[in-house]
Amino acid sequence: MSEFKNKTIWITGASSGIGAALAQTFSAAGANIILSGRRVEALKAVKAELSTDSLILPFEVTNYENLEAHVETAWAWKGRVDILINNAGISQRSLAIHTHPQIHTDLIKIDLIAPIWLTQLQLPKMVEAGGAHIVAISSVAGRIGSPLRTAYSAAKHGLIGYMDALRTEVELRHNIKVTNILPGSVATNVSRNALTKDGSKRGKSDDNIENGDDPMDCAAAILKAVSDNVPELICAEGMELELAKMRQSEPEKLFAMAAQFGAQLADQYEAGED
């Protein structure tokens, strides 16, 4: 799409998965890409696949003291950031009853507080530039409560709430558009990297993730949603899409189904069958 030609897109969590797919998709549409994440070598590999200018800007999203300097670097590169995509995050696989409160705190810092900080630090610049577009990668788990994901669901629900509220303040007054993305199962390492009850990485995936959507298909849908200024896109299919819609249309039915599924999954988890 020619509308993205020479635009500057800043993507966090760009070293793999949806983030890497977004970098390739927006680059193919002519955009210049800022790649952020922790793994420099992985970011270099993504950069090598891009056809447009790109800048590797590595950082730890919870290192809040240094975020302002990273924002200044990003904006100085091409003179502005047209689209910010808050994609960096981590999931969870543990029952709440077994999970230390610090794990909830750590995950919420990564998945909620970090994108809020990165967004807040750029709002004055976006206003001065005459507008921008902010994209937040939430999750279907940000619409419905998912078992083994209490902290993750809390963070992703919160991210949607922050972005929805922000949109009310900045869309008409400052031409800053806001799009929430709610992916379902996408074939990434999200399950392998998920935090367990003690904060360690899970190290294995789920069948639904392994058989999930191609990240490139998800990235293409996100690009179209940004192009069309869609406030919210549920990037899911089948049962996941229906459940996300059911949260508003038939909440009591959803809660009953979720309770049964949650009990079954919790039993499997405690039996070591997850």
Is residue 152 annotated as a catalytic residue, yes or no? yes
Active-site residue, selected from the candidate residues 64, 152, 162, 269: 152
d(CA 18, CA 189): 10
**Residue 44, strand partner residues:** none
Helix (H) or strand (E) holding 269: helix 251-270
Measured CA to CA in angstroms, residue 155 lies from 6, 86, 90 at distances of 33, 13, 10
| DSSP-derived pairing of the beta strands 83-86 and 54-56 | unpaired
Alpha-carbon gap, residue 26 to 87, rounded angstroms = 14
Q: 17-28 and 40-48 helices cross at what angle (nearest 10)? A: 30
User: What backbone phi and psi angles, to 5 degrees, belong to 67?
Assistant: -65, -40
Residue 209 contacts residue 188 (beta carbons within 8 Å): yes
- Residue written as tokens 């549920």? 234
Three-state DSSP class for residue 177: strand
Which positions are catalytic?
152
